[in-house]
Structure 1
Amino acid sequence: MIERPNILSPKISQSTWVVDIERASISWSNKEAKWLFSHFFNGDDLSLFSIDERLLLRLQNFAKSQPDGASLPFIWPGSDTGQERVNCIGTLISLGGNHKGVSVKVQSLTVNDTAVVDRVSGMTCSSFDMVQCFNTLPMAVFDGKGVSVEMNDSFSSRFGRVEKIEELFVVSSAAHSMIDMLSNKSLLTQEIRLSTLRGVRWHQIEVCYQASSDRVFFLAHDIQEERDHEIVLYKLNNYDPLTQLPNRNLLYSQLERALVNARKRGLKFGVLSLDLDGFKVVNDTFSHRVGDELIQQVAERIKSTIPQSACLYRLGGDEFVIVQEHATGMDELTAIADTVIKHSIKPYPVSKMEMMITASIGITCYPEHGESIDNLLKNADAAMYRAKSISHNSYCIYDAAMADTIRAHLTLGGGLRKAIEEEQFELFYQPKIRLSDKATVGAEALIRWMHPELGMISPDQFIPLAEESGLILPLGEWVIRRACYQLKEWREQGYPSISLSVNLSGRQFMQSDLVEMVSQILEETGVDSRYLELELTESMLMADAQQTIEKLHAFRALGLTLSIDDFGTGYSSLAYLKKFPIQTLKIDRSFVNDLGFDNDDDAIVKATIAMANSLNLKVIAEGVENHSQVDVLNSYNCEEVQGYFFARPMNNSDFSVYMDSHLMGQTTLLAVH
């Protein structure tokens, strides 16, 4: 028997044969090919030689996708012993008509190749048989220069016909870098983006270099879905789903980096805590869907107004934080706050309404206002609460005294339920004056918290807490009951009858049994319903127009007077205003302040009074503080006013003294209904 050589002899190198793809047979061969098959593949008659099924399938696919003359490198399967592998190059030719064939020429023959263990299946395979060990995972073999030698069907169906290894990589230099790394170690595992027939996708690759054959074995596993899943999880954990802004997790990450950088380089950075004013009322009045839409628009506007170097975060609800690294000083931080506040007063188009919502901002700067992240954030919150308590749509810079404000805020929240149980509240009364004769015809009931330790607390401080906690419902019921008992007391004391108005909160108005509760209190106190007036805001009425109309008619059936408070600042529609059984409009103090000095305010007030008169509605102007405002309102035929020019809110005792001096001798003091 002739020894099977490990190097190519002239007979082997000149071997050529033709594969008839359609008939799956060798249709022609030269004498060198016959010699090769008889000595290595035990085939005497090549026309009867059985071609390997996997090789035949690959040649068929090649013929379907390529033109005549195209070449394909492949390995001709060896003998049953599995020791011989023939490296071939095939050229696609025509055998007549659509009949295709492949002209095969031998390039090299390897005998007794080094065995390699397949890491996936555990099978022992020779290097040239390695590709066939993987049926589902894409695998290819390249020579030491990165030229393609062999690939399995899974590889070609994913990547197409790859001639050189750099064609796989999005960045071709990555291929050369990989080959350089393989010179130092035989196996390399890496996650990298590869170019596929479906586009660029992430893969985990295992690359093995076999020095004995100068071959690179390339195994690829598509991990794009895993990467996509990781990205989704990352976004869920680190971004707010409503606004797509980074959340608290990324805020702390940035602040930690900023703190390290600032300490190392002696830099400053600023933290601005931002909270919307009255956002809970929007949610309770209009629904969370409307609130969400408003939050999205607010986030977009803030993001578009702050510097590109600043980062905006949403912590949840209506809480936002702005971080400005490398701040030059407090002037830069206050300029950011000024810009946000300036743009927040512009209306937001939400659900076919023009909504207006402002912001309160607290500012801290490292290292002046805290040397840790938690202290900077806490102090920024304290400054924000101070801004909110002083005036909405404003900012405050932190100072040490503000920490007491936060503690007081938390103390009030904890003591509110106890205060309701122990009736620590008191009603104050502000007179309503009829302009035509300056007669006192009514009063507005205003709640005050008489805290046993902190003294009198204004509604601005505890009403938001009551709204947040839900305690506004029992507190609101207490106010209505106390107002009715006060009317009863005044009647029993012999004072002429006057009307008393009570403000309803948005959450209270949405209470399903509100009408029944008010009816029960009227019956309990025996008060004439004509003298109880309920004040409602425009936004409250527009939350659910149809349900509002039904509830208002139910109140009118009880005989109550209904008033729209702060008219002109909300979102009411004149079309609905005609349908609401309202008797009174209260012009907001913001329009009264500059009467006689601001032509726009004059025009608004005059038009409002004229409209109300045409609808047979009474008009009350609140916030009247000087004689010139009285004169202007009188000239516009405004019926009633209230404000510090006539009297401040008074407790029961002082209001009784006021009535003794203002009501005695008056004949008819009933409010005009």
Structure 2
Amino acid sequence: MTDLSMLVHAKMPLAAWIIDIEQSSVPWCNDAAEALLADSLNDIKSGQRLIGDALQKRLSLYIEALELGEELPFKWPYVSKDGARYKVIGSVISLGNGRRGLSVEAHPDLSHVSLPTPTSITASITSSTLPRAPESSGLLTQFRTLSFAAFNPKGEMIEASECFIGVFGDIQYIRDLFAVSGAANSFIQRLERLECLSQEIRLSSKQGVRWYKVEVSYHHFTNNVYLLTHDIQEERDHEVALYRLNNYDSLTLLPNRNLLYQQLESALVNARKREREFGLLYIDLDSFKVINDNFGHRVGDELIQRVAERIKTCIPPRACLYRLGGDEFVVVLENTTGIEELQNIAESIMQNASNTYLVAKMEMMITASIGIASYPQHADDIDNLLKNADAAMYRAKSTGHNMYFVYENNMAENIDAHLTLGGGLRKAIEEEQFVLHYQPKIRLCDEEVVGAEALIRWVHPELGMISPDQFIPLAEESGLILPLGEWVIRRACRQLKEWRESGVAPIKMSVNLSSRQFMQADLVDMVERVLQETGVEPEYFELELTESMLMADAQQSIDKLHGFRKLGLTLSIDDFGTGYSSLAYLKKFPIQTLKIDRSFINDLGLDSDNDAIVKATIAMAKSLNLKVIAEGVETRSQFDLLDGYGCQEVQGYLFSKPLCGEDFLRYMSSQNVVTFA
């Protein structure tokens, strides 16, 4: 490359991109990076650009050891198609939710090229741009992709490159570039002091006001100003989009849990310093699950939006509303005069709940249970303040709908009683009145048992066997689904361990997760802890999740699913086809199995529509490298049709109903799955 070419490369916009180490992808890059890495990135327009395993492993060694903002202690070389050499530099950034990534830039490597000195470059450019020079269209006019201009010390235009004129027009004075007069004055004052500048600033271009990176240098003798501009609006837009993605709820556009904790931490510091009070309201909609179950998640989502809009009208202008996810909201009010101020807000929210919401051309009504807690009266730290407001909310929910309670000291101690809406569910969990039954999963090609689905049953001491349909909604509503769900996972793992010790050949155990359980913050850690305690290898454990559960908050679902995959678990979408799903997200979910709902299997071979749906689902799954299992198989004709369609596994009464642990062991023995030593 020529010296001039190398100079231009050095002044061109830097190629910049972001690496998500955990997902082994490049979620964003600018135009310069796309051009530079065109041959290195797979499917560069898809937004899921994979990076190599070797580079991923090397970067992973450093990223956790460094602080945010720190550069990697090494640079790696890169050579473009045209032979230009670059040194790639990475620094650690936050991707939100505690995840880290790298911000990467490719800097031209000029160490092997002999370039003119800065003085000679400036002199050659200046000689071609002065008005008295015979070649008035000098070197600057030859820069077709570089936005470069020269001004005399009075700020009058001398000459500009075609690119500069194309971007800013035929301006006469340097002041004409600025969108804000104050910024122009400050910039010109610095020019008068002959300061060398490298600054990000808003300029007025033909496309409107945009962000630019501006670099300024001066001629040694004439003090003429040389201005190089680089459009960074795309980078700024990306930063804003990334910030909103990490800190705002996509459905309601309300700030999310991240910003809630930021405000609470700030409020705590201010309250301690100035001896002031602040408080919060923890809001949970009453029986919102009924809306989703009966009308679908699209209607539920629209209702959440309408509720958020109305709550905003019920709170003071200085109060802030956050959405935690699902049907939970938090209102924060700083510098309160007393608990009565928070109670007034709660009463306003409840009064407005008596008005109906127009959703999907229907008039709907939904109320809310509200818990109130205040600093320093009810807690002296953020976590306990939220926990106590949550406890007060559950007291309201257990007492009756559309109510609020202020936290009392005994609520945390007696919260189990308030959460037990059915009068015996908490006791049943403590006394382990539950049992698990296991339904075999059969491989079609050889009809061998390859897995089991764990299904919970409540053996009530007085009422006998209680169906999950009766007590699971109760557990969801009361919050007891969390300890109950952990018990199921732990018991299923222990059973799998017992079977293995009895001589059972390795099979996979599947456990269903509820929507409330899936939202549990420490769910991944809890599952990992149970696997370690029971000694079950992750490859033999599978979690089944519904479409609606995953789509409630698709991005958070993706993050949590990747956490499970890092443990080595298998992930399955249960009841596929019955919920609201997005094929665009389906390929982003790190799942391995689709489970076709029994409603499509019942009339298989009798209903052409069901046949078409099942065939299409299996074909789609194959194209995505997913395994397919059909549930509810009761006849041999259904089995044969599924075999012909390419389904890999089935479960249903054709082979076995759900069995207790001992009966399941005998069933596997009859199928020659048990190999005693």
Q: Normalising to structure 2: TM-score of the pair?
A: 0.45
Q: Normalising to structure 1: TM-score of the pair?
A: 0.46
Larger radius of gyration: 1
